[in-house]
Structure 1
Amino acid sequence: MCAEELRQHSINPATLPSAPSAEPTRHEFRTRMNTLPLAPCAACGKPGITTKVIDAGDGPHWLDLCWPHAGETSPPHPHGPTTVEEILDLLREVAKEVAAEMGLSVPLHIWTDQEGWHDEYFG
């Protein structure tokens, strides 16, 4: 993320803590994620449950984010589902595969915030 993208999400790049390097080790990531209290989300101050290292122009910095802000600042996977319907289709497909592997009939009930009851599937 560049400094302008950070500012679009009300994140001041100057307030981000310095990271040890542009590519921290797994140990450094684990230590950061397992240290309590969790580092605050750079956008809202809630506990940051995701972290990554960015360079906004002045070296590597930790970018800690809560789930909502991590989702807002991460681009969608180029091959992943992007609409609610695509996500529901993927859930149905995975439920069907798991049920077939386990020899079970698995009921899948899907609720959405927008429509309430949305779908029922028995794989």
Structure 2
Amino acid sequence: ETVREWYDLTLEAQEAALDAIEAGVSGSDIHDAVCDVYEDAGLPTLRADATAETGFIHTTGHGVGLDIHEYPRLSTQANELEAGHVVTVEPGLYDPAVGGVRIEDLVVVTEGGHENLTDYGKRLEL
């Protein structure tokens, strides 16, 4: 039951991040959109508690290029997104007592939004 709830929340968090992505937006604004979803559901985040060891305990995403982890960061850092940037969008929740859920897509930032390069269904099957 908890895993399904976490999956649904993580999908909602990812959709909030994707809705926020476009050229000129700060990576921190996208990260905040994800934190808002989790915090509104009463789950811990590093934004709300820098010592959190469960909940949303990583950043929302990062650039991909010659290296797998590049700028811009979708995190507390205020990196501005530019058209053509390729970034991951990968919110997730973790707790050793439950397990973890992460949903990751790869997108290209455009002037008016993004193009999602990930083409698979997002239905949870337990």
TM-score strictly above 0.5:
no
TM-score by length of 1: 0.24
Task: With the length of structure 2 as denominator, give the TM-score of the two structures.
Answer: 0.24
Q: Considering Cα pairs closer than 8 Å and 6+ residues apart, tell me whether 1 or 2 has the greater RCO.
A: 2
Larger fraction in helix:
1
